[in-house]
Amino acid sequence: MSGELHPLAPHTLPPFVGAADGSDPLFSAIIFIVILAVLGVGVFYLKLHAIPEQLAHKHGNTQSQLIMVLALLALFTHNNIFWVAALILALLKLPDFLTPINSISESLKKLTPEEADTPVGALEQTEEKQ
């Protein structure tokens, strides 16, 4: 065999053709692109699932723990209804019922006499002794 090329053969090869040493630049580039794409899709997916938690934190919702649990359930079970419920809870501002009830309770404690703090049975026993 001679070292001469056939006259119809191309004298230069395109850059994506592997060299004789076994390197394959196109394969290496595709592997790099696929790894970056998988990481990018994963980051996007996790950022998407964190939207209700971020909204709850930004708005200072009282039910933020419930929103976080629903977002985690949606992430691990792939049931989108949990994510939608978490998003709705994060966007809605529920009224605060606990603060007025606590205020009423504290006011009633201040209005009652000291004897009212003792149990009912103890009051009956003191009345029988007298």
* Structure token digits, residue 81: 């209804």
Q: Can you give the pLDDT at residue 129?
A: 62
* Whole-angstrom distance, CA of residue 57 vs CA of residue 73: 18
pLDDT of 1 over the 80 cut: no
pLDDT of 22 over the 80 cut: no
Q: Can you give the pLDDT at residue 95?
A: 78
Q: 67-100: per-residue pLDDT in tens?
A: 999 999 998 998 889 999 999 988 887 777 888 8
Domain residue limits, the chain = 25-124
Q: Can you give the pLDDT at residue 30?
A: 93
R_g over Cα of the chain: 36
Q: How confident is the model at residue 32 (pLDDT cuts 50, 70, 90)?
A: very high
pLDDT of 40 over the 80 cut: yes
* Whole-angstrom distance, CA of residue 53 vs CA of residue 71: 7
Q: How confident is the model at residue 44 (pLDDT cuts 50, 70, 90)?
A: very high
pLDDT of 20 over the 90 cut: no
pLDDT of 122 over the 60 cut: no
Per-chain mean pLDDT for the chain? 83
